[in-house]
Chain A
Amino acid sequence: MNHHPAAWGRPLPASASFDMYNPQFSAPKAAPAHQMPVAHTQQPLVTGTSVLGIKFDGGVMLAADNLASYGSLARFKDIERLHPLGPHTVIAAAGDMSDFQWLKKELNAILREEQALSLTDSHPSLSPSNIYDFLANLFYARRSKMNPVWNAVLVGGWDRVKAETFLGYVDLLGTTYSAPTLATGFGAHIAQPLLREAFEAKAGTDGKGPLMTQQEATAVLDDCMKVLFYRDARSMNKYQIATVTKDGVVISDSKSSETQWGFAEDLRGYGAQTQ
């Protein structure tokens, strides 16, 4: 905050940051006396695991489980990691959950401001790719200050102007990536091959063929979430799927996969047998 007497009684207007001649913004900031760069690199504390995303014919689907872990402890078991933004976009986040909560607050504020401005100029609201560009800028700027937003985020949506689907990935390093199938964390190793196999079965290896139907996409996501529950030690068998089409955003109720643990009976130390 600027406490200089010359600035008393002068709240900073939004246009001030574009003012070339305002010394508050144009003067270079004094370097800290200790000469070491200021670094805020954190460690994530309460975390969410993989998020999956897939495009189908007429929309996009994102899946994420309901678990927020505290290290190896399965601490919070009813967390919704899918978040709708406006009528045609969904974001899903893995990584630090407090950073995700902050992100949700920031993005909701930006969208609300856009809605208020649109009241006067009837401009269409931010499209999924606009929101994605904003997030990409935000994540890269924070990483460049050595104070990352410790998340991997998938943005999925329906672009009303271009009448096409959108699916993008952005993470704490500021890396951006867009593809018909996406997955973060463990999902990138285990689920992505399954998603790609299902995608290429219909669209071909060049991706130019037809997209899956909504039922096929749900089926492959259900299968991937089951495999992830088997293999990811920080996952939970309770997840939700968000679907975005031209008709809007629908986030399903939580569901679970049928799993087989009978094989454990034969293993020493597991099941009902004694050593």
Chain B
Amino acid sequence: MFRNSYDSDNTTFSPQGKLHQVEYALEAVKQGSAAIGLRSKTHARSTGELATYQKKLIRIDDHVGVAIAGLTSDARVLSNSMRQQAMSEKMLYGRPIPVARIVQGISDKAQMNTQQYGRRPYGVGFLVIGQDETGPHLFEFSPAGTAFEYYAHSIGARSQSAKTYLEKNFESFENGR
């Protein structure tokens, strides 16, 4: 990344069509220690083992949890918002919130911060795992406001080696442990 005149304003595109502030926020995620997640037909698991003293896993509800990589304060605010939304939906409808919807909730929230003057993007990425009526799920949430579903994924520092291993072996996770 080069420092240039397009990177201090969240609401200014660069001539290459990039939002530099969002790119830098993604860097903050890459600087956090690694978090890995994977799922089979029946289970979803995540872990953050290289961060010895930093709590990486946050329980959102009985059926949803997140592994964080990046700014822990931003992680706290977003996970609190997820907890409130999960609790509200459980009370209102008597059923646990579908995982895709709670992820969509924070994605919309994070995207707003990339399109308003004076606000900065969240500096944390999540691997959201959960189980609902449609089975186990693994999502990656990023400060850009995107959320994609994966069979296996990893984020954070030195996550590439994990990604390479997962790419080779994820098909065996489907039915096994």
Counting CB contacts under 8 A, is B18 at the interface? no
Instruction: Name the distance in Å between B49's Cβ and chain A's nearest Cβ.
Output: 30
Given the interface pairs A14-B108, A15-B105, A18-B85, the reply to whether A121 lies near B98 with Cβ below 8 Å is yes
**What is the 8 Å Cβ interface bit string for chain B, positions 74-100, against chain A (1 contact, 0 not)?**
000100110011001001111100101
* A121, B134: Cα distance in complex, Å: 9
| One of A10, A21, A121, A129 near B101 (C-beta < 8 A) | A121
B133 within 8 A of A: yes
A117 to B101, alpha carbons, bound, how many Å?
A: 8
Asked if B171 is at the interface of the complex by the 8 Å CB criterion, the answer is no
Q: Does any Cβ of A come within 8 Å of B23's Cβ?
A: no
Kindly state whether residue A4 has any CB partner on chain B within 8 Å: no
Complex Cα–Cα for A137 and B106 (A) = 25
Which of chain A's residues have a CB closer than 8 A to the CB of B81?
Answer: 15, 18-20
- Hey, which chain B residues are within 8 Å of A124, CB to CB? 133-134
Residues A129 and B112 in contact, CB atoms below 8 Å apart: no
A101, CB-defined interface residue at 8 Å = no
Q: 1/0 per residue B2-30: CB within 8 Å of A?
A: 00000000000000000000000000000
A108 CB → nearest B CB, Å: 16
Shortest A64–chain B CB gap in Å is 25
- Smallest CB separation, B44 vs chain A (Å): 15
B163 contacts A by Cβ under 8 Å: no
* Of the residues A13, A20, A126, contact of B80 by C-beta under 8 Å: A20
CB distance from B133 to the nearest CB of A (A): 6
A120 x B92 contact (CB < 8 A)? no
Tell whether, in the assembled complex, residue A18 and residue B101 are in contact, meaning their CB atoms are under 8 Å apart. no
Known: A130-B93, A130-B95, A134-B92. A122 touches B85 (CB 8 A): no
The interface residues of chain A lying within 8 Å CB-to-CB of B84 are 18, 20
Least CB distance from A37 to B in Å reads 25
A123 with B101, Cβ < 8 A, contacts A129-B94, A130-B95, A134-B92 known: yes
B43 within 8 A of A: no
Report B169 CB to chain A, min CB distance, Å.
Answer: 27
> Separation in Å of the A16 CB from the closest CB of chain B?
9
Q: Which chain A residue has the least Cβ–Cβ distance from B149? A: A121
Question: Which A residues from 134 to 180 make CB contacts under 8 A with B?
Answer: 134, 137, 161
Check if A121 sits within 8 Å of B95, measured CB to CB: no
User: Would you call A265 an interface residue if the criterion is a C-beta within 8 Å of the partner chain's C-beta atoms?
Assistant: no
A18 to B88, CA, bound (A): 9
A57 in the interface, Cβ–Cβ < 8 Å?
Answer: no
A52 to B77, CA, bound (A): 48
User: In angstroms, how far is the closest chain B Cβ from the Cβ of A227?
Assistant: 35
In this assembly, does A133 line the interface, its C-beta being within 8 Å of a C-beta of chain B?
A: yes
A18-B84, A18-B85, A19-B81 given as contacts; is B100 within 8 A of A13 (CB)?
no
Q: Residue-by-residue, is A91-133 near B (CB-CB < 8 Å gives 1, otherwise 0)?
A: 0000000000000000000000000010011111011011011
8 extra interface residue pairs, beta carbon distance < 8 Å, beyond A13-B112, A123-B101: A15-B108, A18-B81, A18-B84, A20-B77, A123-B98, A123-B134, A134-B92, A134-B93
Residues of chain B whose beta carbon lies under 8 Å from any beta carbon of chain A: 77, 80-81, 84-85, 88, 91-95, 98, 100-101, 104-106, 108-109, 112, 116, 132-134
Closest 10 CB pairs of A and B: A121-B100, A133-B94, A15-B109, A130-B93, A18-B84, A123-B98, A18-B81, A18-B85, A130-B95, A137-B92
A sample of 26 inter-chain contacts (CB < 8 A) reads A13-B109, A13-B112, A14-B105, A14-B108, A15-B85, A15-B108, A15-B112, A18-B84, A18-B85, A19-B81, A20-B80, A20-B81, A20-B84, A117-B98, A117-B101, A120-B100, A121-B100, A121-B134, A123-B101, A123-B134, A124-B133, A127-B95, A133-B92, A133-B93, A137-B91, A161-B133
